Structure 1
């Protein structure tokens, strides 16, 4: 084999991507795990598959007064004016009612960072369809002139609900 033929063969091995024997192929990524919507300087970042960490109102109201870990939130709304972050957490009660808790973090100009201000129940929604899997239409105050309705659907029928899928619908 000539030197030139050897180099061409080596280049062919390098140029052709392959998979080692026994190595599983990566599944295709259909959608990113989050979606982002922007209006009037505000931004909503939401998980397509969001956790539902609470199954009772007592659990939710017990945790809302203190800052929660990021893994508990389903959505985060970043407001331009006044500068604040609003984290939304979900609870689905035995009857299928979706309760949305919110935690507000305001921007502290002295400390130059967001600080936890308060946690409260934002609203509750009865399911659109019965029996399950339940689904809800959620109104999110993205911007004053741009109402936003998201569809949430329980991933399984029955209670407790561990996760929901969030569909932005035609919003962009």
Structure 2
């Protein structure tokens, strides 16, 4: 029997993250749902399991706290299969304090330790920074891949939905 793939979805308790968790489950992934709200996390897991799919909850996770995220990821069991997909859908307000900004930085060493194939999608009109920032990040990842979506700002999944969906399907479809 083939080992089942597991996907981890941050922000999976509501909105886009919830929809992604349901879609990945329907596509055969076991889904680990992480969210700040424990109640909505449990609700999404119940919905997924009631549909006959597999999911686990990791609620109460503040994605702006790296230690909390690491602890939550440690709770994801190795079975039914390895985590092969990560969807970061948790929404956080841009940190304002310098301490929080420094805490959220990812070092070159940390990026180099991410050996799984990683897709970095950036947009031509992203208000958070130029496309070069996304390209630089992808190049610092050992198995990073960069894709630029033109004529989109902060929400390419809505502004250029067909292109975004095609890029995501092609990447996930490789079975990475």
TM-score (norm 2): 0.26
Give the TM-score of the pair, scaled to structure 1.
Answer: 0.27
Higher helix proportion (structure 1 or 2): 2
Normalized per residue, which structure has more strand?
A: 1
**CA radius of gyration, larger in:** 1
